[in-house]
Amino acid sequence: MTLNEWYESGLTPDEYIESMEKHKENLLHIYDNFTVPNDTDFFQTIRAKDLRVLVLTADWCGDAMLNVPILLRIAEQCQMGIALFPRDANLELMDQYLTNGKSRSIPIFVFIDKDGNEVAKWGPRADKIQHFLNDARANLPDERADDYKEKWNEMLLFMTKSFRDNTDFGDEVYESIKKTIAAATVS
């Protein structure tokens, strides 16, 4: 399928959010509490490019819980259409956007023009969020340790709470997505 065909087959944001079971409340909390910066020039420039975005995501994913609502806010400002694709039900698309050529990391945002040409790709997380994750993982015991699973679950709970409540993370995601789109759309 072409990227335009994929776009036409995706879920709308409302359809995706209604289907969520795990992180729906957290995603909506981030969406409701994220304040879009006053980037009028950026929004007008992107609006003029008539972009759309394909989003590979999953309800269980903490990174998606943080990143998708920020993208939704950007899309509103830029009048950018969004089509969402649950990763595991769309592996044919997912496998075209593997992280480091091997990992099905999500979310992945694929920005396309009106002709369906890929303009930019972003994901699965902003650099500063990646460093935060790396630091958290570095504090875990060895995977063979008796308490590894318990510590892993504690880390996931901490990450989820941090993603939900630390507004600096939303700002980092916003700036990272903005930088990616702006770099790809300079004419």
CATH no. for residue 180?
A: 3.40.30.10
Q: Identify the segments of the chain with pLDDT beneath 50.
A: none
Residue 103, strand partner residues: 99
pLDDT one-digit tens code per residue, 30-48: 999 999 999 999 999 999 9
Cα Rg of the chain (Å, integer) = 17
pLDDT at 187: 55
pLDDT at 175: 95
Domain that holds residue 61: 3-185
Residue 161 CA to residue 171 CA, distance in Å, equals 16
Q: Which pair of tokens denotes residue 160?
A: 């989820």
Domains in the chain, number: 1
pLDDT at 71: 97
Among candidates 119, 120, 42, 107, which has minimal Cα distance to 69? Answer: 107
Cis bond leading into 107, ω under 30°?
yes
